[in-house]
Amino acid sequence: MTIDIAAQQIAGLVSRIAFTPAPAPLPRRARSLMIQGTASDVGKSMVVAGLCRAFTRRGLVVRPFKAQNMSNNAAVAADSDLPPGPDGAIVFGEIGRAQHLQARACNAAPSIHMNPVLLKPQTDIGSQVVLRGRVLGNCPARIYHRMRHGMMPAILDSLDRLRAEADLVLVEGAGSGAEIYLRASDITNMHLAASADLPVVILSDIDRGGTMAAIVGSHALLDPADRARVVGYIVNKFRGDFSLFEPGVRTITEQTGWPFLGVLRWFPTADRLPAEDSLALERPAELGGRGLAVAVPRLSRIANFDDLDPLAAEPGVALRFVQPGNPIPADTDVIILPGSKATRADLDGLRREGWDIDILAHARRGGRVVGLCAGFQMLGRVVRDPQGIEGPPGETEGLGLLDVETEIGGDKRLVDIDAVDRVSGCRVTGYEMHMGRTSGPGLARPWLRLDDGTGEARPEGAVSADGRVAGAYVHGLFGADGFRSHWLRSVGAQASGLDFAQRTEAAIEALADHCEQNLDLDALLALAR
């Protein structure tokens, strides 16, 4: 059961943050290097992923680590703290999508220890708190700010576990490490660096401007001990002739005393890798090619929107995120309702934008509608939250396009999926990550029948009587090439035969090449300790 953290005493909260420590002190094998940014979205996650693959290709055992992540894009990861279930199944937790990608770059299985604290924003001032893969509850920012130091034992224990199994641990900071007003409660930047004795590299994004002020300003704000932890800086996302910026580099080094460790030029295929958070959706609205017109309402608490990356990669699909203040285009063929961290709040948002009218009119015209996870819940008759898990207790009327209803509650369902869908005959891969339980007559017409080879196929999701509205809880559904091609043909579109996994793998390789070509990896490895 989750708890409302806002209603608890701070001392009681800290005592609730239980975790299973390593059974004995672990030998430290790995060297470590921390990448901190001068701001959010400067490219830390991408650079760490590229370095993970580049050092892995050199024969090192590499692991990623981010103490605290704030993102509604999450993925399942093995929870090695818990024994297998009664059927021998692995128990899963959840981590940020960026660390899941970084694990892939290391050719390693994702683990809850790679991102021990995950904050999933539900309101403007509060988040669901996940510790070592398990939901603790919902927490206003001011309360979490006061309690998070109680998580440091779990964070350091997770880092020690990775250090014991790897040759190199690449640690990612969060936001800016120079937000000194947060230093006393910090668990993911300079306080972590001091506690774990991490050397720090500062990363700045020159494409947004202000690089000199950002790096020199960081130096000015940090106290002497934190400054001494910084072993150098990297300039990211540079375009054009770098010789024009060389005087700036000399000035930065003169002002800070920090060595210049290199410039990472603009990486043009970054959009082929999953974005960490919804800042990416504020960029141009149309993705992919031309052909099937797919519209995705840009929900306020949109989650796991990388579900849509495989469709956006199809040359025969034009995928558009519809921004607030805009109607869903009348020429849309398919509307997809994506995941959300606050289903009822985003249903209210749909209605405020008038998107509910657009969706229902689209369905009446014979258009197709798909719901993924929370989007599936929205397609039903009602969503109830009697315990107030996602917000104030209550219920919200759904769109009524599927004859189902959902109640938010119970333990979060975290399941890795690799099965054959007996409806389409295609392999389906992905995962489930939700707290709602859906019931109703509509489930008698499942969208999928998943056979994992262990017994009878499990029905999943629902389809309307006319077959034009469908929803399911499976994230990553369109990432399975055969299923995606089958679905595209079923809606009258052309499938390209795209190998999406290979496309992603090629992008990771290209990112590693980019790091090799632009940075002195031997020097970076020498700085790790």
Give the pLDDT confidence of 140-183 residue by residue, as tens digits: 888 888 888 889 999 999 999 999 999 999 999 999 999 999 89
Whether the pLDDT of residue 277 is over 60: the answer is: no
Please say if 426 is a catalytic residue.
no
pLDDT at position 199 = 98
Cβ atoms within 10 Å, residue 129:
25
Of the residues 52, 475, 514, 515, which is catalytic? 475
Query: pTM of the prediction?
Result: 0.90
Q: What average pLDDT does range 231-258 have in this prediction?
A: 95
**What separation, in Å, do the N-terminal and C-terminal C-alpha atoms of the chain show?**
41
pLDDT digits (tens, 9 = 90+) for 470-524: 999 999 999 999 999 999 999 999 889 999 999 999 999 999 999 999 999 999 9
Q: What average pLDDT does range 276-285 have in this prediction?
A: 52
For 85, residues 6+ apart whose C-beta sits below 8 A from its C-beta are: 91
> Residue 320: which of 330, 377, 464 has the closest Cα?
330
Of the residues 52, 106, 373, 515, which is catalytic? 373
Q: Which residue has the higher pLDDT, 400 or 2?
A: 400
Cα distances (angstroms) measured from residue 450 to each of 108, 373, 417, 454, 486:
26, 16, 9, 10, 16
> Residue 304: which of 434, 402, 411 has the closest Cα?
434
pLDDT at position 14 = 54
> Residue 345: which of 385, 402, 401 has the closest Cα?
385
pLDDT digits (tens, 9 = 90+) for 180-209: 998 988 999 999 999 999 999 999 999 988
Q: Amino acid identity, residue 228? A: A
Q: How confident is the model at residue 10 (pLDDT cuts 50, 70, 90)?
A: very low
Whether the pLDDT of residue 119 is over 90: the answer is: yes
Mean pLDDT of the chain, nearest integer: 90
Q: How confident is the model at residue 36 (pLDDT cuts 50, 70, 90)?
A: very high
- Whether the CB-CB separation of 164 and 28 falls below 8 Å is answered with yes
Q: Which residues pair with 421 in a beta bridge?
A: 426, 450
CA distance 374 to 336: 11
- Whether the CB-CB separation of 276 and 73 falls below 8 Å is answered with yes
- Whether the CB-CB separation of 471 and 402 falls below 8 Å is answered with yes
pLDDT digits (tens, 9 = 90+) for 338-364: 999 999 999 999 999 999 999 999 999
CA distance 519 to 513: 10
